[in-house]
Chains A and B, each alone.
Chain A
């Protein structure tokens, strides 16, 4: 072997090839098992930080009761409509590719999640977060914080204007890079539907190499995190558009309960 790259003292020792082999081994075992998975595994060693942070016992089944069947209410008091535009939070316009990300949020029965809070956060166009623990040598954009909020409309639609985030390096293993993504925090019509996830962009060359994305072992399930380019969302001489629809887990409340709210 020649030309071993210099490994910084803060880099993990594994190489991408080692991590990629682990990812492939887990995925082939999954494919042989024939049992469909739809969510990430909690125990997924290629993502090194998960090793000591996943429960070792199976999740315990609970029939939701009381507070679990309800969800916090957010309203105009909580979120200003301009918070959905991440490009107007500072004196100037941020650097990067202006995009609109929009979609519809439904529960597992296909019912729209109405007037509910959606929070997003992301890196800037250079892949840099405004966070003291992100110190990689890519510039902070003084015109971009990367945090937005909105409420869904009466049909469950959300819409953000932002900048396409860049990929960024992390320290899971040597030369590890995350595919570009936007973090989404979502509430449903009952608290059992609460979830946080990441939206990715179509065709990212880093998908196969990324242990967080690959912790979802099923390709169909992984595809559910990837937005679609939508020219009908793209606006003339202003922004390109992406659509990403979200399905939360099934709710236990009946449609009668739902109707009673209105």
Chain B
């Protein structure tokens, strides 16, 4: 393997992204209420359990059949094309919400998940995590199995009336959401 170049450092998204990054229907991977649509939502909280009203989340996921989306058009949604990517800011109560579909499994037997990226004022670099819909395949998932039981729960979304609920705890001791680093990442 070639020597890796050193990556440019990240920085906080800061407080003023609100007029720049959100765009029309950015949180609608599919139109709300369309067949198969679910709400993927939750609350982002800080180390005192208070809501974080200035976080920005992105999700990136397979389609309902496990296919990797390759269509353009996320920034100019036509309501028909599934691009697999969306963006949502938290509201004053720390709540975020996406309209999407349950991801199918991309690899036979593996547990599907929604990849979630968190940006916020006060957060000096982005955080990655996975939101797994509940299901039988979770027992065989390598990542979940590499975690102690109480930490594993933080990555499993819960079913509710409208879809999936996935709360994100930036700082909460043992209840803190598990955040991920990947092989190319360095401190």
Contact = CB atoms under 8 A, between A and B. Distances in A.
* A, B co-complexed: yes
Interface of A: 37-42, 44, 47, 49-57, 59-68, 70-79, 106, 108-110, 117, 119-121, 123, 129-131, 133-134, 145-147, 149, 183, 185, 191-198, 212-213, 215-216, 221-222, 224-225, 246-252
Interface string B1-44: 01011111111111111111100000000000000000000000
A40 B10 contact: yes
A75 B170 CA distance: 34
13 contacts: A50-B124, A55-B177, A63-B142, A65-B107, A72-B60, A108-B5, A130-B19, A191-B60, A195-B8, A212-B11, A225-B8, A247-B8, A248-B7
Interface in B132-187: 142-143, 146-147, 151, 170-171, 173, 176-187
Interface in B94-126: 103, 105-107, 110, 112-113, 115, 117, 119-126
Contacts of A67: 60-62, 68, 84, 103, 106, 113, 115
A52 B183 contact: no
A183 B56 CA distance: 14
Interface of B: 2, 4-21, 46-48, 50, 52, 58, 60-62, 68-76, 83-85, 103, 105-107, 110, 112-113, 115, 117, 119-128, 130, 142-143, 146-147, 151, 170-171, 173, 176-187
Most buried by A among B5, B9, B61, B147: B9
List the 10 shortest-distance A-B pairs measured between CB atoms, nearest first. Answer: A49-B122, A250-B184, A121-B20, A75-B72, A66-B106, A52-B47, A72-B85, A249-B184, A53-B122, A78-B75
A222 B143 CA distance: 33
B126 A40 contact: no
B180 A183 contact: no
Most buried by B among A54, A213, A221: A54
Given A38-B186, A108-B4, A109-B2, A195 B143 contact: no
Contacts of B112: 66
A40 B182 contact: no
A29 B11 CA distance: 21
A147 B20 contact: yes
A109 to B, nearest CB: 6
The majority secondary structure among interface residues of chain A is: loop
A198 B11 contact: yes
Contacts of A64: 182-183
Most buried by A among B18, B58, B72, B176: B72
A194 B46 CA distance: 23
A221 B124 contact: no
Most buried by B among A44, A72, A131: A72
Given A53-B171, A55-B171, A56-B176, A215 B124 contact: yes
